[in-house]
A and B are shown apart, each in its own frame.
Chain A
Amino acid sequence: MKSVHPSFHLFESIGDHVLIPDGSRIYKIDKIIHQKLEELLSNNDQVGIDQWLVENDLQSLGQIDDNPVTDPPLTSISLAIAQKCNLGCSYCYAQEGGFGVKAKNMPLEKAIAAVDLLFVQNHTAHRMNIAFLGGEPLANREALQAVTRYARERADAELKKINFSITTNGTLLTLDDADFFEQYGFSVTVSLDGIGELHDRLRPYKSGKGSYERIIRNVEPLLAMQKNMQVSARVTVTPGNLHLKETLDELIRLGFHSVGFSPMLSSPGGNDEMDSVSLEKMLENMINCGQEFEKNLVAGKRYPFSNMSTALKEIHRGTHRPYPCGAGAGYLGVSASGELAACHRFVENREGYFGNLTEGIDRNIQQAWLTERHVHRQEPCKSCWARYLCGGGCHHEVINRGRPACDYIRGWLHYVLQAYTRILDRRPDFFYPEQ
């Protein structure tokens, strides 16, 4: 692994390139500049680096300062509509659905109060998203459907745009659900950790019985039907399912709109967490999938590997962020009992408590969170070139386990940066899809 420096990152791909973190700017450079920068880097010559950046008009633009976001409008909420689940996944952050407390459903009036909070706190924005999570959200189908109808009617009346999403284990999906999701244009994410037995080992029913066959039987009609809705697969990667390409190929073949992988970095009991050796293997496998993506893209074939397509588009735009996600800012989770949390993972967790539906968002807690979680306050992030692409890593994972995956994240970004310049050269149209 190359040395890590906050000022820039060098990478080779159809020539030499440099990433300047501030503004996530990418430049192609000649050999002379490359040698000069390598020299400055190996001598850790910060004065020389700063001078070179100024001389070449590549100095910091001050795109991200130390100030935290203040009073962000609320654009997304997730509802823990059912804090219960019929599966018994060993690594689940929700501890098999109940988040460590008694299993329960969110009453409809709480769900409606949460949607009302979203509309009131959405003042300056016009787009909103409501995510249904759990537990298994379809365990409380009636409230889910009723609150969706309520939110859409209110959005229509106020001329606002609203999107809905659900993350489901797929075991309870019915044809009626498919119609409903299609009607309301849901983004449906199905959790699948592999094909067949591999999935069954990680995501069995509480009884221990496998769930894969049932899920696929349930999901197939949705895959065939998806027009307004999009049906994607999310794979949680543990040391037990590192053969990613086989899973990716099969899920794409089944017709998922996109497929994405996420490493298991922090589970309540430490079960199935990824260690450095597993992360190294995962990186190798991710790059393998990325290369397949590149090959298919150049050949004009569909290969919806979402980690790759999302990262490439963000790199092209030059996305730079002081936080890893909107948790605690534009996005909040709501528990079944009406407590607000930094995100869906912090439900029933005092570390991510943000107020409740009766009293609203606790602005003092929120401001303290946004100040504390800013990437400039994180170590070792502020001395890392990837800080504005990564944002410091998932708050929940970092608070619970620290940052065991920095080399993996940098390794993945290094590869995607290389792939970006290749794709920009061969298929620039990838970055301009039909509207």
Chain B
Amino acid sequence: MKKISSIEPKNLTAQLHYRGEGNPPSTHPSTAVSNCYPGLEMDFRNVWKHVFEGIELLEYSNLVIGVDPGADEKIQRLVSTGIQYELVSVDGIPMTAPVTGPFRHAPEMIHDTIALEWSNALAEVLLKAGQFVLCKFQNSNNLREIISMELKVRHFFDVDLNRNGKVVNQRVVIAREMAGPGDLTQSLCSPWQNDYRECDCFYWAASRPDFVNVEPGKDGKSKGNNWMQKDRTGTADKKYISDAEDGVRGNPVLVSYQDLFAAWEENLHYIIAGKDVPLNNPLKKVKTGVKKKSK
């Protein structure tokens, strides 16, 4: 029997790159088959949402979606009134950025804000781990209402603290209070379906059909279907239907995430030579465009 030997990482780089015996290479974020949205091994968004004691945030929108049961009344108010509150600044650092520009469904220029990506926006805030910082929350229905409160920043990494709260040791491991057991993988129920639906032809890494059953028109334009369209029989007017047709994602004529989770085999059919393969007698009726080699 092979004798198990002991290798214990000591300094920070050794800890960061250490892989325990038996773990696959994908245990490391650097070697994982990942996409931050959410990735196949872990969903990093789940760490950041607990960065402030007392509240839980929703990545992408910065909305407060939960508070600790024992949190004080002011914190409870962020979720108890039915109004949604968005985190807009921390310690004077903005968590959103203004967006101005044309929008295809609006006749006039839009002026809006977008939530910033947390790994960048909150990086400096982490330097104040263990301290209280001023957080400002904006009422989603009444933008003039801002609630300000001091919240304690959690330590990102696993630390030992002394009686005064000073860090006396740190390990290159995400702190349990940032991500409890199961948190990192809780949104990985069907990751490939999420990415598969999201990443269409405008995304460089997409490797699936997108614009299918395409026919050239006499006017020089082409007609075809979005592969995610439920009805691609050609009976409906042939056009590429966008997911955000009305400015809201989740167009009901398209295959939904839920459809993919529940029955992807039935909803996604083979496409050969850019066209749907008929279900009853697949290969016979399809013109592949590949000619037989003459002998």
Interface residues of A (CB under 8 A from B): 17, 20, 23-30, 32-33, 56-58, 61, 315-318, 320, 420-421, 424, 428-429, 431-432, 434-435
State whether the Cβ of B120 lies closer than 8 Å to any Cβ in chain A. Answer: no
- Chain B residues lying within 8 Å of A23, measured Cβ to Cβ, are 13-14, 17
Bound Cα distance A24, B127 (Å): 25
Bound Cα distance A81, B10 (Å): 45
Q: Is the interface of B mostly helix, strand, loop or mixed?
A: mixed
Q: How far is the CB of A431 from chain B (nearest CB, A)?
A: 8
Near A by CB (< 8 A), chain B positions 182-198 give: none
Cβ contact within 8 Å between A61 and B5: no
Bound Cα distance A372, B168 (Å): 42
Interface residues of B (CB under 8 A from A): 3, 5-14, 16-19, 127, 160, 162, 166-170
Q: How far is the CB of B8 from chain A (nearest CB, A)?
A: 4
Cβ contact within 8 Å between A429 and B168: yes
Cβ contact within 8 Å between B127 and A58: no
- Contacts A17-B10, A27-B10, A29-B7: A432 and B17 contacting too (C-beta < 8 A)? no
- Contacts A429-B166, A432-B169: A24 and B13 contacting too (C-beta < 8 A)? yes
Bound Cα distance A96, B8 (Å): 52
Bound Cα distance A428, B162 (Å): 12
- Chain B residues lying within 8 Å of A434, measured Cβ to Cβ, are 166
Cβ contact within 8 Å between B11 and A429: no
- Chain B residues lying within 8 Å of A320, measured Cβ to Cβ, are 13
Bound Cα distance A28, B19 (Å): 14
Cβ contact within 8 Å between A432 and B167: yes
Cβ contact within 8 Å between A27 and B13: no
Q: How far is the CB of B94 from chain A (nearest CB, A)?
A: 15
Bound Cα distance A58, B169 (Å): 24
Cβ contact within 8 Å between B162 and A24: no
Cβ contact within 8 Å between A27 and B8: yes
Q: How far is the CB of A317 from chain B (nearest CB, A)?
A: 6
Cβ contact within 8 Å between B7 and A27: yes
- Chain B residues lying within 8 Å of A317, measured Cβ to Cβ, are 11-13
- Chain B residues lying within 8 Å of A424, measured Cβ to Cβ, are 10-11
3 interchain residue pairs of minimum CB distance: A318-B13, A25-B14, A429-B168
Q: How far is the CB of B270 from chain A (nearest CB, A)?
A: 40
Cβ contact within 8 Å between B7 and A58: yes
Q: List 20 A-B contacts (CB under 8 A).
A: A23-B14, A25-B9, A25-B17, A26-B11, A26-B14, A27-B10, A28-B6, A30-B5, A32-B3, A33-B5, A57-B19, A61-B17, A316-B11, A317-B11, A420-B10, A424-B10, A429-B166, A432-B166, A432-B170, A434-B166
- Chain B residues lying within 8 Å of A32, measured Cβ to Cβ, are 3, 5
Q: How far is the CB of A42 from chain B (nearest CB, A)?
A: 19
Cβ contact within 8 Å between A420 and B11: yes
Cβ contact within 8 Å between B6 and A29: yes
- The listed residue with most A CB atoms (<10 A of its CB), out of B11, B162, B170, is B11
Q: How far is the CB of B217 from chain A (nearest CB, A)?
A: 49
Q: Looking across the interface, which residue of chain B has its beta carbon closest to that of A432?
A: B167
Cβ contact within 8 Å between B14 and A27: yes
- Chain B residues lying within 8 Å of A435, measured Cβ to Cβ, are 127
Bound Cα distance A316, B171 (Å): 11
- Contacts A32-B5, A33-B6, A432-B167: A25 and B13 contacting too (C-beta < 8 A)? yes
Cβ contact within 8 Å between A421 and B10: yes
- Chain A residues lying within 8 Å of B11, measured Cβ to Cβ, are 24-26, 315-318, 420, 424
Q: How far is the CB of A164 from chain B (nearest CB, A)?
A: 23
Cβ contact within 8 Å between B7 and A28: yes
Q: Looking across the interface, which residue of chain B has its beta carbon closest to that of A33?
A: B5
- Chain A residues lying within 8 Å of B166, measured Cβ to Cβ, are 429, 432, 434
Bound Cα distance A211, B169 (Å): 45
Q: Looking across the interface, which residue of chain A has its beta carbon closest to that of B131?
A: A435
Cβ contact within 8 Å between A428 and B169: yes
- Chain B residues lying within 8 Å of A420, measured Cβ to Cβ, are 10-11
- Chain A residues lying within 8 Å of B168, measured Cβ to Cβ, are 428-429, 432
Bound Cα distance A315, B9 (Å): 13
Cβ contact within 8 Å between B10 and A429: no
Bound Cα distance A61, B5 (Å): 22
Q: A30-B7, A429-B162, A429-B169 are in contact. List 4 more A-B contacts (CB 8 A).
A: A20-B14, A30-B6, A432-B168, A432-B170
Bound Cα distance A431, B167 (Å): 9
Cβ contact within 8 Å between B7 and A318: no
- Chain A residues lying within 8 Å of B162, measured Cβ to Cβ, are 429
Q: Looking across the interface, which residue of chain B has its beta carbon closest to that of A430?
A: B168
- The listed residue with most B CB atoms (<10 A of its CB), out of A24, A33, A435, is A435
Cβ contact within 8 Å between A56 and B7: yes
- Chain A residues lying within 8 Å of B170, measured Cβ to Cβ, are 431-432
Bound Cα distance A316, B10 (Å): 8
Q: How far is the CB of B176 from chain A (nearest CB, A)?
A: 19
Bound Cα distance A316, B169 (Å): 12
- Chain B residues lying within 8 Å of A24, measured Cβ to Cβ, are 11, 13
Bound Cα distance A435, B160 (Å): 16
Q: Looking across the interface, which residue of chain B has its beta carbon closest to that of A424?
A: B10
- Chain A residues lying within 8 Å of B13, measured Cβ to Cβ, are 23-25, 317-318, 320
Cβ contact within 8 Å between A26 and B10: yes
Q: How far is the CB of B4 from chain A (nearest CB, A)?
A: 10
Q: How far is the CB of B121 from chain A (nearest CB, A)?
A: 16
Q: How far is the CB of A432 from chain B (nearest CB, A)?
A: 4
- The listed residue with most A CB atoms (<10 A of its CB), out of B6, B18, B160, is B6
Q: How far is the CB of B106 from chain A (nearest CB, A)?
A: 35
Q: How far is the CB of A126 from chain B (nearest CB, A)?
A: 11
- Chain B residues lying within 8 Å of A20, measured Cβ to Cβ, are 14
Cβ contact within 8 Å between A318 and B169: no
